[in-house]
Structure 1
Amino acid sequence: MRLSFSVLALASAFAAPALAEDSFPATLAGHAAIPALTLITPPADAPQDAWVSGKFTGKARNDAPMTVEGNTGKAYGAHGTGLYLPFIGQPMQGMSGFAMTPAEDGSIYTLTDNGFGNKRNSPDAMLFFHKMAPDFETGTVERRDTIFLSDPDHKVPFRIAYEGTDSRYLTGADFDTESMQVLNGEVWIGDEFGPYIIRAGLDGVVKAVYPTVLDGKELHGPDTYSVYVPATAGKDFQVQRSGGYEGMALQPNTGLLWAMLEKPILGEDGKPEGNFLRVIQFDTNTAEWTGKSVKFALAEGATAIGDFNFIDDTRALVIERDNGEGDAARACADGATDTSGCYPRPAKVKHIVLVDTADIDADGFMRRIGYIDLLNIADPNGLALDGMKPAEGPFSFPFFTIEDVIAVDDTHILVANDNNLPFSGGREPGVAANNEFILLSVPELLAAK
């Protein structure tokens, strides 16, 4: 069937509470994918520099397209991914967030991230969001539109990579865009570098950039433009690198954004304040931080979150994950020196957690109601796409970064991964991960209170 989406305080150091929650089953109801090497054309008025992307992903500039193979890195087995940089065009990859509100045509607003992973290597990676529609009959995903972010009115408070151009398109050297919501004809985007909240029109034109305020103080990351090296962790910056707004949920009928940091913030000693994440509330009606913040407790083994979206007035879904990648059945043996056909850091914690934002304990923690395990998904009808099924056992979603989740209806959710093109695998050693969209039947999870 084709899925229809129209139906569809800084210094505190409390220990995270003991987690007593239910585990619920998940069944695969649909599977679709975008091939890893899917490139799109920049706008006609984009700088010529943007027509070849990934020129700065190595130790030195490389202008020769398709000459250097992407690699997962030593910690992940040093697997080549079979795809070569730089790319001719812009990679469509990097699904880093779903908006809760569908587009008028029923498609999903889907955000891409900063490009190739950090501020230094992504100055030629353009920032954009899409309208996408997965088709679970064909196993494909239709890209209906792409909207590129730009700053023609000079709202960004620092020099952008394409500062001297007329079009002033934004790139991954400017922001790391990881979460988004659409409200009243505007787009609200959570950034990791500042961390900032970016306000833009549906045409991608930036209207404002808001720095983060927690407990009356502005929070900074190591990539905030006003932070200079050398900088002291915990004093000059409090948000870890790649620890900004990975999830940003829009509470229905309120205009409130609940912006969740990806990683624990740092205390004045430079160490994480605890095994929990800050969730900071922003009011789109007044364009101000409300002063309210709560905490999300991470499960044992989890290191970060991937997305955050409400399913009703108070309950919401959170993706929590470890830094592992690949099927544990293909884990490398202890002490293995040849990791070419195995995973040295297989996936172990990949959850979709249901929380209640109206149930906050005395220490400020949201109640975790229950979760599903993305490494244990039933597939009784054999819906998993060819080439993306495990050799044995249940279907799983063993990707490093799983960054997209929304509720589709009362019994189904949609989940997708960020494939970190061309640096991540997950399905097969030596093969770049595709962008996969999975429809999951989870009635027990969504009904849980």
Structure 2
Amino acid sequence: MRMAIPSVLILAVALGSPAASQQRVDATLAGHSRLPAATFSAPPPDAPRENFLSGRFLDPLSRVDEPYSVPQRTGLPTPFLGQPVQGISGFAQERPATGGIWAVIDNGFGSKRNSPDALLSFVHLVPEFGLGTIRVANRIWLRDPDQLVPFRIVQEGTQARYLTGGDFDPESIQVIGDQVWIGDEFGPFLLSATLDGRITGIYSTIYEGRMLRSPDHPSVAPGTAPGPATWQVANSAGFEGLGLAPDGQLWAVLEQPLRTSHGATEDDVLLLQFDPVQRAWTGEVRRLALTEGATSIGDISFVDARHALVIERDNHQGDAARACAEVTPPADAGSCFPEPAQVKRVTMIDLGQRDASGRIARLDQIDLLGLSDPQGIGPGRIGDRFLFPFQTIESVVMDGPDHILVANDNNLPFSSGRSPDQADDTEMIRLHVPELLAR
């Protein structure tokens, strides 16, 4: 039985001093489902007509209005008709009453500059492992008709004020009753909304009495150097994970460590506790050392009051057995991976233990690049082993006492971790991991 811990406990994650090698336990593929990369939905009927086309600004110096006119290395030309259902970046621990899972979709195409025509949303997904498919039961669009966002948004002059990837980058989600909580990377901010997508609050990040900002924060001028009074969170390194503890507290994880005024990187990535009832940061912080070779946290999901699962990963993609012979292959090399994936792990951490340096204890972990697949369920197997070699693996949650669900963010149309010249699908896997979950 796992022991409870005080509700005031909070995490942070350390990058500068990687953790030593630790015990890996087996994980068996129990289910595999996919949502094809070319999956699109119509925008809401009251959205501006321009939102029926997305991805027009991937090249910042070349606006493109002709659908599917720009070839992409991964085989899906842009811009797209409709809004792509892609970029799954976090699972909520609370499930929809009708089954399935709540998931958040990220900002669109990776930056503020190239995503002003990508509408922000979260989705109700239903994995159908027997069929190998993922059904999109509902898509909920985020909007700010009450003008609670404190800065100018892309659709400022419209009545519905739908939020876009030019405003926020949603990367994590939790659902508490009738409120949805979303972690953003651009501010970084926490957002709250109703289950039908209406924004109810925007919360700046407070750490040690000061506001944390990234270069994408609306108050930071372009080109500003890092510093205590400017920005401290690296670009695209905001709230990648958002966990819901059994006591109802939220734990928001920064993807990367803070930057100092000299441009150096601090050792620790912070996980900050937020009280959703008081709608305020509690000021509690802890640290966790990353596994050797990992560069970021992909997600956090609580197992009980004391233990949580975290995704740890590098920034590479593809099967190492298909690595390119040259460090810099030709641009048209479609049969090999220039920088194959090396570190893709799910680790159990113990919030009730800390080492001499104050870091949270690390327990067992599984290797997503070496999953057992004796039944031959998944694609991309090597013998009876299955690989999940995607650049960004950003969703994990328990699925019963012995299983977890894991999914990739496919970064449409850019990522190609399954095949070097083909856009990744969204893949969701169900893993049998009794050793990982047994404490």
What TM-score, normalized to structure 2? 0.94
> Of the candidates 370, 375, 393, which is equivalent to residue 376 of structure 1?
370
Decide whether the 8 Å contact of 1:261 with 1:277 is kept in 2: yes
Decide whether the 8 Å contact of 2:14 with 2:290 is kept in 1: no
Q: Residue deviations 1:126-147, cap 9 Å, x none?
A: 0000111101110011111110
The one-letter amino acid of 1:312's match is D
Secondary structure of the structure 1 residue equivalent to 2:371: coil
Q: What is the rounded CA distance, in whole Å, between the counterparts of 2:90 and 2:84 in structure 1?
A: 16
Aligned alpha-carbon RMSD (Å): 1.7
Decide whether the 8 Å contact of 1:114 with 1:177 is kept in 2: yes
Q: Match of 2:120?
A: 127
The one-letter amino acid of 2:359's match is F
Decide whether the 8 Å contact of 2:18 with 2:292 is kept in 1: no
Q: Match of 2:300?
A: 308
> Of the candidates 146, 153, 177, which is equivalent to residue 184 of structure 1?
177
Secondary structure of the structure 1 residue equivalent to 2:75: strand
Cα distance, 1:391 vs. partner?
Answer: 5.3
Is 1:65 the equivalent of 2:67? yes
Q: What is the rounded CA distance, in whole Å, between the counterparts of 1:13 and 1:246 in structure 2?
A: 14
Q: What is the rounded CA distance, in whole Å, between the counterparts of 1:194 and 1:94 in structure 2?
A: 19
Secondary structure of the structure 1 residue equivalent to 2:31: strand
Q: What is the rounded CA distance, in whole Å, between the counterparts of 1:269 and 1:370 in structure 2?
A: 36
Q: Equivalences for 1:33-432 in 2 at 5 Å?
A: 33-58=34-59, 59-70=61-72, 80-235=73-228, 236-252=230-246, 254-274=247-267, 276-335=268-327, 337-338=329-330, 339-384=333-378, 388-390=379-381, 392=383, 394-432=385-423
Q: What is the rounded CA distance, in whole Å, between the counterparts of 1:47 and 1:206 in structure 2?
A: 19
Secondary structure of the structure 2 residue equivalent to 1:426: coil
Q: Residue deviations 1:73-126, cap 9 Å, x none?
A: xxxxxxx11101100000001100000000111120010000000000000000
Decide whether the 8 Å contact of 1:318 with 1:354 is kept in 2: yes
Q: Residue deviations 1:154-212, cap 9 Å, x none?
A: 00010000000011000000000000000021000000000000011111100110000
Cα distance, 1:364 vs. partner?
Answer: 3.2
Secondary structure of the structure 2 residue equivalent to 1:329: helix
Q: Match of 1:75?
A: none
The one-letter amino acid of 1:289's match is W
Q: Structure 1 residues 17, 343: CA separation in 2 closer, same or farther (over 3 Å shift)? A: closer
Is 1:21 the equivalent of 2:12? no
Q: Residue deviations 1:36-59, cap 9 Å, x none?
A: 000001010011111100010113
Decide whether the 8 Å contact of 2:124 with 2:138 is kept in 1: yes
Decide whether the 8 Å contact of 1:421 with 1:433 is kept in 2: yes
Query: Unaligned 5+ residue runs, structure 1?
Result: 1-8, 71-79
Percent identity of the aligned residues? Answer: 49
Cα distance, 1:333 vs. partner?
Answer: 1.1
Q: What is the rounded CA distance, in whole Å, between the counterparts of 2:320 and 2:14 in structure 1?
A: 34
Q: What is the rounded CA distance, in whole Å, between the counterparts of 1:349 and 1:421 in structure 2?
A: 22
Q: Residue deviations 1:327-385, cap 9 Å, x none?
A: 0000011445333321111000000011112223353311111210000001001111x
Decide whether the 8 Å contact of 1:19 with 1:368 is kept in 2: no
Q: Structure 1 residues 361, 268: CA separation in 2 closer, same or farther (over 3 Å shift)? A: farther
Q: What is the rounded CA distance, in whole Å, between the counterparts of 1:277 and 1:300 in structure 2?
A: 15
Q: What is the rounded CA distance, in whole Å, between the counterparts of 1:281 and 1:412 in structure 2?
A: 27
Cα distance, 1:21 vs. partner?
Answer: 2.9
Q: Match of 2:32?
A: 31
The one-letter amino acid of 1:142's match is R
Cα distance, 1:13 vs. partner?
Answer: 9.7
The one-letter amino acid of 1:67's match is S
The one-letter amino acid of 1:383's match is I
Q: What is the rounded CA distance, in whole Å, between the counterparts of 1:119 and 1:364 in structure 2?
A: 36
Decide whether the 8 Å contact of 1:234 with 1:271 is kept in 2: no
The one-letter amino acid of 2:242's match is M
Q: Structure 1 residues 14, 120: CA separation in 2 closer, same or farther (over 3 Å shift)? A: closer
Query: Unaligned 5+ residue runs, structure 2?
Result: 1-9
Decide whether the 8 Å contact of 2:15 with 2:269 is kept in 1: no
Secondary structure of the structure 2 residue equivalent to 1:42: coil
Cα distance, 1:296 vs. partner?
Answer: 2.1
